Amino acid sequence: EISRTSNHHKRGQVFETVASLKLPKKALRAEEYAEDIRTAIDQARNTLRSEIEKYKTQFVELNKKKLAK
């Protein structure tokens, strides 16, 4: 979701980007604000990538523990 934070602001962090991703047992969300719409999108993408990497690491570790038992 991409939106302006308000219609009357002309400067500052006026663009908001929200990206959500539903995964098994978890929902990941990235919410970013920026002066430029493209910057907000890039920041949200980078945040979501980081969250996905954390999820994958936790998921792999959990599966390794289950297989070791």
pTM for this one?
A: 0.74
DSSP letter for each residue of the chain: -EEES-SS--SSS-EEEEEEEEETTEEEEEEEEESSHHHHHHHHHHHHHHHHHHHHHHHHHHHHHHHH-
pLDDT at 69 over 70: no
Provide the pLDDT for residue 6: 66
What local confidence, expressed as pLDDT, does residue 13 receive?
66
Q: Which residue has the higher pLDDT, 48 or 58?
A: 48
Average pLDDT over residues 23-49: 92
